[in-house]
Amino acid sequence: MTYLISLNPATGEPVGEIPTTSLDAIPALVCAARGARSNWSHLSIEARGECLLRAAEDLLQESERLGELLSQEMGKPLRKGISEVRFCAQSIEPRVKQAVAALQSRRSSDGDTESTLYYDPLGVCAVISPWNYPMSMPQWMLLPALLCGNTVLFKPSEETPLIAQAYADVLNRHLPPGVLQVVQGPDQQGRALVEADINMVAFTGSREAGKDIMTRAAVGLKRLMLELGGKDPLLVLDDADLDAAAEFACANSFENAGQVCVATERVYVDRQVLDCFEQRVTERAAQYLAGPWHDAKSRLGPMIHDRQRQHVLDQIEQALASGARLLHGGKDHPPRYITPTVLTDCRSDMWIMQQETFGPVLCIQGYDNLDEALFLANSTEYGLGAVVFGEDEDRAWQVARHLEAGMIGVNKSCFGTVECPWVGARQSGYGFHGSAEGFHQFCQLRVVSKPLSG
């Protein structure tokens, strides 16, 4: 038997180990999921929701234990780890209510025919999740899959297997056997799972991995929900509240050490206010201290591993060599960390302005008019989130409507209400989750019709 060894990213020391799922075992796990499907799918939506509501109580009660494990394994500050667990616990009830409303059958008639639309379970769903939010990211996919009556094979990131297993163990206290099973391992296990006899793959991760999943899933014409990478822009208009814009830019660039799919990675600022904005950003960036998960003073942790750290360093070095100017950080980074970095005089042809960084780097480029700003903001293949800051809200709203992203915020983050889907555009997403429409993606829609009696 082989094991995954989980490492503390701040020290490189082992946090623990867990058995790897053998490739030969995956067909049997799929078979068990199919066997569990009948009873689970025939429960009412309310009954399935009750199972998850009981799990929510356990998550809340054990949030400190689970949050500490999450922070040790992923690296984020302890308060952030505990907060993630509590958020997951507290978000289950509204999602259950949303599912109950979304999955009710609907009737329609046209004078001759009466039809009923049913949102039936799809079958066996693979959920493949990343390491950056190792509880909330899988939950966003697991909840709709389970509430819709599917059984799930959950493949977490090999970087954070312990917290993923602990999370699944809590859920499984209240789920029937075989409804939720965990597949542990690196990429090979993920590829084998995608190619197995399943009905759907829900994935959050890189664009490259998403393309590979799409290729492998095409053989079986499997349903896909892919949330992929981003290169989110922030547009700062000439009338923006610069203090608020700078505060948001730093918070959204440096959160989770920049390891966030909707991190602000490109900032386009009207040249009339560029100098003032740069000053405010530089002042705020100096307040972000990096440190290990148990350091109460730290606001961001280490990079998840040396490969990701080196990727960020390479992007910074290439940008500086190509003419970018350093306003803060950028040099003498402690081992395992990236000091929060602010670059200006960036250009759209730089690697750091085109491809996802996934690190605490804020890149600034000035613009002369809104047409140029929109062209620059829309100049990548990504389209997950975007933000506009401007005091004239109607004007800022019109600018937002020209941004080619799935989620756009005006004077706030790109997060919508609880009723809104999490959706990407372009190469940042294929399908979506959240909202009533998001639940429907995990269902098989069936239409049963009969003649209306004369």
Structure token pair of residue 309: 């750290």
**CB contact set of 97 (below 8 Å; sequence gap of 6+):** none
Q: Cβ-count burial of 155 within 10 angstroms (0-12 exposed, 13-18 middle, 19+ buried)?
A: buried
- Category of 391 on φ-ψ map: left (φ > 0), alpha (ψ -120 to 50) or beta: alpha
Please, what is the end-to-end C-alpha distance for the chain in angstroms? Answer: 68
Q: Count Cβ neighbours within 10 Å for each residue of 66-79 and write b for 16 or more, e otherwise.
A: bbbbbbbbbbbbbe
Beginning with the edge strand found earlier in the chain, give each strand of the sheet holding 443-451 in spatial order: 106-109, 113-121, 443-451
Name the H helices within 258-403: 274-285, 306-321, 370-377, 393-400
* Choice among 159, 227, 255, 356 that is catalytic: 227
Give CA–CA dist 353/220, Å, rounded.
Answer: 37
227 is catalytic: yes
Give CA–CA dist 123/145, Å, rounded.
Answer: 9
**CB contact set of 304 (below 8 Å; sequence gap of 6+):** 9, 74, 75, 131, 132, 159, 259
Place of tokens 């085109």: 354
Catalytic site residues?
Answer: 227
